[in-house]
Amino acid sequence: RKVMEDSPHLMLVGTGAARFARSQGFEEQETLSERAREAYSKWRQKHPEGDGKAEGHDTLGQVVMNSSGSIAAACTTSGMAWKYAGRVGDSPIIGHGLYADDKAGGCVATGVGEEISKVCGSFLVVELMRQGATPDEAIAEALDRIIGRVATNRSVQAAFVAIRRDGLTGAGSIGSGFQYALTRGAETEVVDVTARFQEG
């Protein structure tokens, strides 16, 4: 937030981000606990260099529309397991991990951020809805573009949740096991998403 408030930029990473943070009075802290260091060491023994796959995930995305039709999207994550320092995934990048436009709709993404970013996933979904696609149709197109890039690599997961400006919602994922919560008024339901690649 300080970057957007006190600089002409939207995002800083790496040494430039550290320098800016110090100039704003933030203190450096060690964020890697001994427990996490041990977990990394055990994981690294079982996985080759560059294998960022880990069981489970922690990305949380929200796309909302209020009663006046304003649409917003938010996304938070700690990112890919054992990522390189300085790695920026799709979640913080507008148009990749999230995108919202009151005139078209909103979308959030989760999965392998690099693959989502390569197709500007959330922006693509919203733009297709602007052109008349339903959320499910737009998401299917975005997923198909990712699938086309990764061919038969079934370990790559990506998923999207979207709402169109008329209130129609949709979701889709490459792999199985993706769910989302849909709330309308005081009612919430958990929805299982049909995967593009079925296991078995």
- Residue from 178, 175, 174, 181 nearest 193 by CA: 178
- Residue from 132, 104, 102, 106 nearest 121 by CA: 106
Rounded to 5°, angle at Cα 26 from 23 and 27 = 115
Residue 188 bears catalytic tag: no
10 Å CB burial of residue 81 (0-12, 13-18, 19+) is middle
Instruction: Please tell me which residue in 59, 152, 183, 188 is annotated as part of the active site.
Output: 59
Quote the strand ranges of the chain, DSSP E. 60-65, 71-76, 98-101, 105-111, 158-164, 169-173, 179-184, 187-192
Kindly list the catalytic residues.
59
